[in-house]
Copies of this chain bind each other. A is one copy, B any other.
Amino acid sequence: LSVQSIEQARARLAPYLEPTPLLAAEALSRRLGREVRLKLETLQPTGAFKVRPALNSILANLDACRESGVITSSSGNFAQAVAWAAARLGVSAEVVMMSGASELKRRRTEQLGARVTICENTFEARWATTFRIQQESGRLLLHPYDSDETVAGDGTIGLELIEQAVSPCTVIVPISGGGLIAGIATAVKASRPQWRVVGVQAEANPSMRRSLDEGRRITTSPASSLADALAVATPGERGFDAARRLVDDVVLVGEEQIAGAVRLLGVEHKLVAEGGGAVSLAALLAGKVAGSEAAVCLLSGGNIAAEKLAAILAAPAA
């Protein structure tokens, strides 16, 4: 993946998406003794950064997508984003989701006009179903995290940060399949090699951390977590490659730490984040990101069920 392809993605997205704010988190900065800023991908249409890779994937191949339609498979945030982008661009979209996917994300995807097919709650079934429908339908497959177009779309966040953040800084990024951190690290390290890029996973789903430890892509069993958006069995090739070459560290956070970050964001910063979107802040609060330079926590998504958020807010502060 080249920085050029990320710049190309940025030009493609510009008519559709505004840069997201990089919020100065003053109270957090005081508390942690370093400048903390929050990159608000939660404020994107459909509530997550995924509109960037979804738009870029379709726009890179718009005529073919219009002619054949598209198909993808997603735990939810990419599904909504593809549905949204497809609707805006006049493209037919179908999405395969596992039966355990968030009900909220499924309903939203349908509301945005995509056809949703539910499969068994395993990653094998998910991809088998996706490939089968793709073969039968002739729809173009959009990969949620492991294609050049998705990673380039993700990388546009890095280009924005280069313009918005103070230098030097550490960028803290949630990891699912690794496409997001691959894109961001590619963009950032190309022009700001002294910046650090740190990835975060939930302890429940540590496939990237374990893959790095063992030097090859490891498959883990998906486990239930507040960070449902980050549950992936195996890192993508692009994500794993970037994590080895460009990422300074990958750390894990526990469920209590994730809930604490979601709560803090709501109470102190007036922001709704889903568990997977808040792992970056959870890692920083847990002292897992060393250094005194400025820190940027990427809040990658906010699609948490209202009842789940209510329960976290109603719980006593940790």
Chain A 292-318 against B: per-residue CB contact (8 Å), 1 yes, 0 no? 000000000010001101110110000
Is A210 interfacial (CB 8 A cutoff)? no
Q: Main SS of chain A's interface residues?
A: helix
State how many residues of chain A have any CB contact under 8 Å with chain B.
Answer: 28
Interface residues of A (CB under 8 A from B): 18, 21, 23-24, 26-27, 40, 42-43, 45, 47, 263, 266-273, 302, 306-307, 309-311, 313-314
- A308 to B, closest residue via Cβ: B313
**What residues of B have a CB within 8 angstroms of the CB of A310 in the complex?**
309-311, 313-314
> Once bound together, how far apart are the Cα atoms of A178 and B34, in whole Å?
38
CB < 8 Å: which of B26, B270, B309 contacts A313? B309
CB < 8 Å: which of B42, B272, B306 contacts A314? B306
CB distance from A197 to the nearest CB of B (A): 24
> Once bound together, how far apart are the Cα atoms of A269 and B313, in whole Å?
17
- A265 to B, closest residue via Cβ: B272
One complex includes copies of this chain to the number of 2
Question: What are the 4 A-B residue pairs with the smallest beta carbon separation, nearest first?
Answer: A270-B302, A270-B272, A310-B314, A310-B310
CB distance from A28 to the nearest CB of B (A): 11
CB distance from A226 to the nearest CB of B (A): 16
> Can you identify 30 A-B contacts, CB atoms within 8 angstroms?
A18-B24, A21-B21, A21-B40, A21-B43, A23-B43, A26-B45, A42-B270, A43-B269, A43-B271, A47-B268, A47-B270, A266-B272, A266-B306, A266-B309, A267-B272, A267-B306, A270-B271, A270-B272, A270-B273, A270-B302, A271-B271, A272-B272, A306-B313, A307-B313, A307-B314, A309-B310, A309-B313, A310-B310, A310-B311, A313-B313
**What residues of B have a CB within 8 angstroms of the CB of A40 in the complex?**
21
> Once bound together, how far apart are the Cα atoms of A47 and B269, in whole Å?
7
